[in-house]
Every structure is written in C-alpha cells, then in structure tokens.
Amino acid sequence: MEAANASLLVPDITGLTAGNNKFCIAIDRITSYGYLFRNGHNPLSYSFTLLILQLSVAPFIILVTHHLLNKSIGTPLMISQIIGGIILGPSVLGHIHNFGETMFPMRSIIVLDIIATMGTIYFHFLIGLQMDACMILKAGRRELLIGISCVVVPILLSMASSVIVKNYSNVEFNVRSSLFFVGGAESMVAFPVIASVLAELKLLNTGFGRIALSSTMISGLISFSVVSFILIIKMSVIETTSKLQKIIAGGALLALVVFIRRLVMWKIKKVPDAQAVHRELLSFITLSVLVTALLSKYAGQNIIIGPFFLGMALPAGPPIGSELVKRLDFFVTWIIMPFFFVMHGLEMDLSVLRLQNVVAVEAVILVSVFGKFSAVTLASLFCNMDAKDALSVGLIVNVQGVIELSMFKMLRDIEIIDNNSFLIMSLSTVIVTGAVTPIIKFLYNSKKYSIQRRTIQHLASNTELRMLVCIQNQDNVPAAVHLLKASNPTRNSQIKVYLIHLVELVGRATPLFIAHKKNQRPSSSTQGLSGRIVNVFNRYEENNIETISVKSYTAVSPFDAMHIDVCTMALNKKTCLIIIPFHKQLDSTTKLFTPNVGFKAVNKEIINKAPCSVGIILDRGLLGGFRFVFASWLSYHVSMLFIGGADDREALAYSARMSQHPSISFTMVRVVMSKDIPDYFDERLLDDEAVGDTRQSMSGNDQFIYMEEFVKDRAGFLSLIKSMANEYQLLMVGRNQDPNLLCTIGVGEWIDDEPTELGIIGDMIASDLEGKATLLVMQQQRLKRQCKDEKST
C-alpha cells in the first residue's frame, strides 16, 4: 500500500451509530501542508490540524457559555461545561450537517476519546489529591447523621419508587430494567463536586459550608463504596481477564501506591517547606497516574480507581499536593477535560427521547432529589441547625457534576442502564444543579452586619479594646507587633488580640480553620510559617502578660472566601478594629511591589463587609524590623492628618489612644479649608466636637502638638503630606472624605477614579516614593443603613 493511501480499518466505537459499522482512517494524514486547500488538500482532513481546531473551539464554546450563564443566573462552571458539550453535540450545532461533519468527523472520534479518557483519569486523580480523608475520622455526631441519611434515605425511596413506576407505567423494556439502578445512581453524592460549587458560591468558609463538606465526605465515601461494589460484581462477569492476572495487577497497583506515598512522605521530611519541590518527583507522580489507570484496567476495575486512590494516598496541600494541583489543574480543566464534555455532548441526541420514558425516569430522579433534600434538612434541624442553613445543606447535596456524568456513562457502557436513561439523567444534572445554585445564593448572604457601634471612637474609656490582626506573610509581623505596642495597652485598658494568619487554599478541596493552643506541640497542619508567626505573638504576650492577651488562628481558604473567616470572627468576637496589611510591600529599593495579587481582592472584601472599623497598614520599616520587635521604645513620633469625616474621626480617636503612651509624641494636623462648604455643615459640627474633645483630653500633655494648616490648592496640599511623610514614623489618615472637601483642597479630579484600599489621600501618600513614614489608613464601621445608602449613591 502506498503511503499516500495508507489507511486503518477500525470499528465504530463512538456509540453514535447503531450496529457494527466500520470506517477507514488515513493513518499517514497527520500534519497538513500548512496552506488552505493547497493542491486540493483540505487542512482539516489531517489529524493534527483538526485536533488544533477542536482544541480551540471546545474551550471557547464552554468559556462563552459560562460567561453568559454565570453573569445572568450565576450558573456554576461545571454546568456551563455540560451545556457547552450539548451545544457542540447533535442536539444543537451538531444538527447542522456541515458543522458536525467538519468539526467532529467520525475519523477524529478515536483521538477525542483518548484525550477525554486521559482527562477523566487526571481529573479523578486531582479529586483524590484534594480530599482530606482525616476529616472523616474527625467528623462528629451531627456530620455522621447528616452524611448517612443523605445516602440511605434517598436510596430506599428511589428504589421503592422505581419498583412502582416499573409496574404501573408503559415504558420500553430497556428503560424499565434500568429504573432500579437509576434510583441508586441518583442517590449518590460526590463530595468534590459539592466542594467546587461551594467554592464558586464563596460559601466554603460559612458555617453551613463546613458542615456540608464534612457530611458529604462521609456520604461520598459510602456512595463510592456502593458504586465500586456494583462495578466489581459487573466487571467480574463481563471481563475475560484471568483471576491470576487480576490478582497480580491488583497487587502491583497497591504496591505502587504505597511506594509513591512513602517516597513523597520521605521527601517532605527531607526537604524543608521553603524549598522548591523537585521536578523529577512531580514528573514521576504525573506519569504514575497513567500506570495506576492501566493496572486498574488489568485488575478488572474501571480505570479511574487507581488514579483516585493514588491521589487519596498523597498528602493534600503544600508542598507536593499544592504543586501538583498548580501544574495540572488548568491543563486538565481547560485543555483536556473540555473533550470529555464534547464526547459526552456528541452522545446526547435528545431527539431520540420519548415522552413516556422521560416521565418514568424523571419520576424516579425527582423522588431521589426529594429524598436527599428532606432527609438532610430534617437531620440538620434535628441537630439544632439554623433553618436557613438546614435548607441550604439540603439543597447543596443535590448538586451534581463531572463525577456523576462519568458514573452515568460508565453504567451505560457496561449496560447497567440504557441509553435513554443515560440521556435523561445527564439532562437532569443540568436542570437540578442549575436550579439549586441560584436558590442557595438567594438564601445565603455572607455579608455580616453589626447593629451596635463597634468603633474606637465610641469605645468607652478604660475598657478592653478587642482587635483582629490579619497576617498575610511573615513580613507583616513586625509592623503588626509595633502597632500593638503603639496602641498603649494598660492594666486599666487591656487589649485582646485575635491573630489570624491567612493562607491560600491550594492542593486541597476542604478549607481549614485552626485554633492554635499555647504550650501545644504544633501539628503537621500548623507547623511551618504559621507556627513561627504565632510564636512571635505568643512571646510578645508573655512579655506583656498583664496588659495584652493573644489568641491565634490559621485560616486556609481560597482568596474569594477569606474575608468570610475574617468578618465572621470579628462579628463573633465583638472586635472594634480589624488590622489588615496593604497588599503591596516595599522591596529593597523602597519601591512598592505585590507579593500576592490575590490579597488585593481579600482586602477589598474585608473593607466593604467588615462589621467594625478597619485599619490598613503600609509598612515602610520605620517602626522597626524583626530585630526590634521586643525592644522598648525611647521615643516614637505619630502624626494624624485630619481633613474631616467619620473615617478621620476614627483615626483621631485611635491616635489619641496612642498618645497616652509615655514614649509617643503625637502631632495632630488639621487642614483648614479656604472657603466654607454649606453641604458639610452637620459633619463639620461632628468634626469640631471630636477635635475639641481630643484637645481638651490632651491638655497638660507636653507630647501633644496641635497644628492647623491653611490649604487653598493642590500644590499646597501635596507639599503638606510630603513633609509629614518624611517627618514622622507613623502617619494616620482617614480612608474616605467628603467629595466637597477633596474638591476644595484641589484633589477632586481623582474622585471618579477607583482608589485602592487606602483611599484617595492614602494613595497619594503611598505613591510618594521618598516618604518614610509607615501609613495607617482608618475606616470607621459602616452600619447596614450606611452601606445601603453608599451603594445607592
């Protein structure tokens, strides 16, 4: 046979056509000449060129679908992926004759199926890698009750309903014989799917989110065990592999998983967490995933079993788990997994469905959905959960995604369910999950309000000051400790500090919230950077045991949910002030850089949703580094720039408290406007009262200086803040000022620009590269009514 005519005769394995049809593939047509229709050759008749086009079109369709659906109704990514696959299939675009034959011809199905299979293998490996099996061992009575009822009750109800429907409905024989297994499959719960939806809804760190994760991990383990048991029985019947070969392959699979786990654990102990993980080890694990899939096949099991258990065997989180997720997640999610949805969509021809079959299968599915919802909701209420949280948990357990689709396809391929049931179950996944998620978003609002004033300005004198201090990295520690010193803790006015180290959730599906206990050996979850940060604050507390107390926590969560931990703790602990570091830091050349851009969004969310006042600190080093954390001050210069408004009054109240420190000299600079502002009359009275009270309380204090600066234009104002940024060690300003005030001092042109978390004045001070003073920007607590007013304006 000539090379130009080389071809391969292969069976039609797609399931898209009936019978045992075969078709020819030209095995030499891989790379095209590179020109459109050169010498009569169509570039799309070559495998590689066609694959590149498919690699471009499939993710693009899914991305556009997700953008449209998520923007309009908040649909999760996995539902957009499924719908994208259906759009590319014969039900929508594939129904167009030229599109289907051009984009997904029969000769390309083998390549697509291989890529989709690899996507499924690595997807289930990542699922196992991000699961924390220890959560099952730590589950309490409430989680056990909810998790068990989530599976047992719907299984019993759906299987009973399948018997009724089978006996009293006129459906096809294949559908009738599938109903029993439809009920069982629909009763299963996939923990990773629920975790990903909670993450998209930014509810991972909520009370109901944590309970849902712990409970569904238990129900997911039960579900996985049931499905595995069914597969073992079914595969033992249809597999032709000898028992000896299965035993050898199973033993090799177990030995490989144990070996890789021990190798990884040895490597983690040998290599400090600050060092980079060796590429050779990561490459070895990545290739081993495919080996475990092959061994699973030879052992008579589904190919996803080995990769899943290999992922479960590896430690979640840094350094190995997080690095593997970073390297594989995008490639798997956006490059090869779209082919899984394309293949799934190509097999979904909804035109073949008959109404009576749809009604029968949907009846069983609805009973399963109702069984999950009612069982979990009642179990949650029995465990004294809030009604709204109980309803939310009851709804979230009905979410389905990629794992369920894989299971449906697997059950169809081994002929446990028929193709009609497969189509209806896949379609129900889209409908149920698409309906549940908007309801949960409506029910659950993560914004925390306080109905009481929690500010430093309104805090009674000689009472305990409660502060929540956020640490993003170890460079934030010196400034935070020095700020606590400056806050002047005394026996009559002690300070209670709630320290929270914010860590990005990478390489695991479940967030962590760890309470550090004093005089307790750190666990594997808390050792490392968090342990060192906590030790610094514990030592500072020991040196000031009569005036300050510290309780330390570590919150491991995704960036879009971190603010929930912070705001919830501030609300529950009744703090008056949250201290957060500015998302930028100074490098060795005193230029600002961003260590982790994710914290910019975290800070913004905290500022917008905090139930108390917030302080944002930009450390320029004048407070002292790690060497001076525990040293006593001889003298320390604090200045406060007062323009006007609630935030400036809060900054004034905090700086006035600092001025009581014997080593601190306090200078207050009030900006005097060149003209009166009629619309600012009421606020002006509050400003005058606050300034008058401060000056009166400072009478007799030789370290207090009050100054008034007349400002008539922008040049004068810029000169003022530049001189203050170079003269003092700590400069305090309010975050927001009245627009009329800003226009009067010549900076009104920046009002329309979106400022950073520092506000307009703070941004101006921070942008001065020659400035030396550490900057503290204050925002006074926004009550619920104020937040609504600001949003409406």
Which tens digit of pLDDT belongs to each residue from 687-698?
Answer: 999 999 999 988
Confidence of residue 274 (pLDDT cuts 50, 70, 90): very low
Residues 331-357 have a mean pLDDT of 86
> Is the confidence at residue 639, as pLDDT, over 90?
yes
What CATH number is given to the structural domain containing 491? 3.40.50.12370
Q: Is residue 744 assigned to a domain?
A: yes
> Is the confidence at residue 8, as pLDDT, over 50?
no
Of the candidates 81, 94, 504, 74, which has an alpha carbon nearest to the alpha carbon of residue 332? 81
> Is the confidence at residue 201, as pLDDT, over 90?
no
- What three-state secondary structure class fits 710? strand
Instruction: Quote the percentage of the chain above a pLDDT of 70.
Output: 83
Q: What is each CA distance from 692 to 253, 451, 689, in whole angstroms?
A: 78, 28, 5
- What three-state secondary structure class fits 584? coil
DSSP state for residue 678 in the 8-state scheme: G
Whether residues 380 and 482 share a domain: the answer is no
Per-residue pLDDT at 5: 42
Per-residue pLDDT at 551: 94
Q: Is residue 296 assigned to a domain?
A: yes
Whether residues 371 and 404 share a domain: the answer is yes
**E strand or H helix that includes residue 468:** strand 465-471
Q: Using an 8 Å Cβ cutoff, are 481 and 425 in contact?
A: no
Total domains in the fold of the chain:
2
Residue 223 CB neighbour total at 10 angstroms: 24
Per-residue pLDDT at 447: 53
**Joined tokens for residue 486:** 């400056």
What lies within 8 Å, CB to CB, of 103 at 6+ separation is 53, 54, 57, 88, 93
Q: Using an 8 Å Cβ cutoff, are 779 and 771 in contact?
A: no
Per-residue pLDDT at 18: 38
Whether residues 287 and 242 share a domain: the answer is yes
Whether cis (ω within 30° of 0) applies to the bond prior to 319 is yes
Phi-psi region of 746 (alpha: psi -120 to 50; beta: other; left: phi over 0): left
Considering only residues 520 and 621, tell me which one the structure prediction assigns the higher pLDDT: 621
Strand 592-593 to strand 585-586: parallel, antiparallel, or no bridges (unpaired)?
A: antiparallel
Q: Is residue 585 assigned to a domain?
A: yes
For the chain, the residue count is 793
Q: Using an 8 Å Cβ cutoff, are 88 and 56 in contact?
A: no
Strand 548-557 to strand 512-516: parallel, antiparallel, or no bridges (unpaired)?
A: antiparallel
Strand 592-593 to strand 664-673: parallel, antiparallel, or no bridges (unpaired)?
A: unpaired
Whether residues 347 and 298 share a domain: the answer is yes
Helices (H) and strands (E) in the chain, counts: 28, 15
| β-bridge partners, 708 | 670
Residues 186-206 have a mean pLDDT of 82
Per-residue pLDDT at 778: 96
Query: What is the spatial distance between Cα 317 and Cα 324, in angstroms, rounded to a whole number?
Result: 9
Lowest-pLDDT choice from 126-140, 251-265, 303-317, 431-445: 126-140
Query: What is the spatial distance between Cα 16 and Cα 115, in angstroms, rounded to a whole number?
Result: 18
Residues 2-29 have a mean pLDDT of 49
Whether residues 167 and 126 share a domain: the answer is yes
Chain centroid to CA 276: 24
User: Residue type at 129?
Assistant: L
Confidence of residue 499 (pLDDT cuts 50, 70, 90): very high
Q: Using an 8 Å Cβ cutoff, are 288 and 253 in contact?
A: no
pTM of the predicted model over 0.85: no
Per-residue pLDDT at 595: 82
Whether residues 432 and 514 share a domain: the answer is no
Query: What is the spatial distance between Cα 662 and Cα 739, in angstroms, rounded to a whole number?
Result: 37
Considering only residues 48 and 233, tell me which one the structure prediction assigns the higher pLDDT: 48
Considering only residues 270 and 134, tell me which one the structure prediction assigns the higher pLDDT: 270
Q: Supply the range of the domain harboring residue 143.
A: 81-443
Chain centroid to CA 400: 18
Q: Using an 8 Å Cβ cutoff, are 772 and 725 in contact?
A: yes
Per-residue pLDDT at 1: 38
Per-residue pLDDT at 26: 64
- Burial of residue 441 (CB within 10 Å: 0-12, 13-18, 19+) is middle
Per-residue pLDDT tens for 724-749?
888 888 999 999 888 777 776 767 66
> Of 410, 443, 476, which closes a domain?
443
Considering only residues 788 and 539, tell me which one the structure prediction assigns the higher pLDDT: 539
**E strand or H helix that includes residue 467:** strand 465-471
Whether residues 344 and 433 share a domain: the answer is yes
Per-residue pLDDT tens for 250-269?
899 999 999 999 998 888 77
Per-residue pLDDT tens for 353-398?
888 899 999 999 999 999 999 999 999 999 888 888 899 999 999 9
- What three-state secondary structure class fits 14? coil
Of the candidates 642, 641, 557, 644, which has an alpha carbon nearest to the alpha carbon of residue 602? 557
Q: Is residue 452 assigned to a domain?
A: no
Query: What is the spatial distance between Cα 644 and Cα 741, in angstroms, rounded to a whole number?
Result: 8
Residues 11-38 have a mean pLDDT of 55
Whether residues 494 and 430 share a domain: the answer is no
Whether residues 556 and 593 share a domain: the answer is yes
Per-residue pLDDT at 410: 84
SS in 3 state form for 680-703? HHHHHHHHHHHHHHHHHHCCCCCC
Confidence of residue 764 (pLDDT cuts 50, 70, 90): confident
Q: What average pLDDT does the structure give for the chain? A: 82
What CATH number is given to the structural domain containing 160? 1.20.1530.20
Per-residue pLDDT at 12: 42
* Orientation of helix 402-413 relative to helix 109-130, angle to 10°: 130
Per-residue pLDDT at 425: 93
Per-residue pLDDT at 698: 86
Per-residue pLDDT tens for 555-594?
988 888 899 889 989 998 999 999 999 988 877 666 777 8
Considering only residues 307 and 742, tell me which one the structure prediction assigns the higher pLDDT: 307
Q: Using an 8 Å Cβ cutoff, are 675 and 684 in contact?
A: no
Q: Is residue 23 assigned to a domain?
A: no
Of the candidates 613, 782, 639, which has an alpha carbon nearest to the alpha carbon of residue 709? 639
Q: Is residue 311 assigned to a domain?
A: yes
Whether residues 401 and 478 share a domain: the answer is no
> Is the confidence at residue 118, as pLDDT, over 80?
yes
Residues 420-429 have a mean pLDDT of 92
Query: What is the spatial distance between Cα 358 and Cα 467, in angstroms, rounded to a whole number?
Result: 59
Q: Using an 8 Å Cβ cutoff, are 132 and 316 in contact?
A: yes
Considering only residues 646 and 269, tell me which one the structure prediction assigns the higher pLDDT: 646
Query: What is the spatial distance between Cα 552 and Cα 498, in angstroms, rounded to a whole number?
Result: 6
Confidence of residue 104 (pLDDT cuts 50, 70, 90): confident
Alpha helices per DSSP H over 169-206 = 173-186, 191-200
> Of 412, 443, 474, which closes a domain?
443
Maximum C-alpha span of the chain: 106
Q: Is residue 285 assigned to a domain?
A: yes
Residue 717 CB neighbour total at 10 angstroms: 22
Residues 409-415 have a mean pLDDT of 85
Whether residues 104 and 162 share a domain: the answer is yes
Q: Is residue 458 assigned to a domain?
A: no
**Range with the largest mean pLDDT of 3-7, 87-91, 221-225, 451-455:** 87-91
User: Residue type at 473?
Assistant: N
Per-residue pLDDT tens for 612-626?
999 999 988 755 555
Q: Using an 8 Å Cβ cutoff, are 352 and 423 in contact?
A: yes
Whether residues 479 and 603 share a domain: the answer is yes
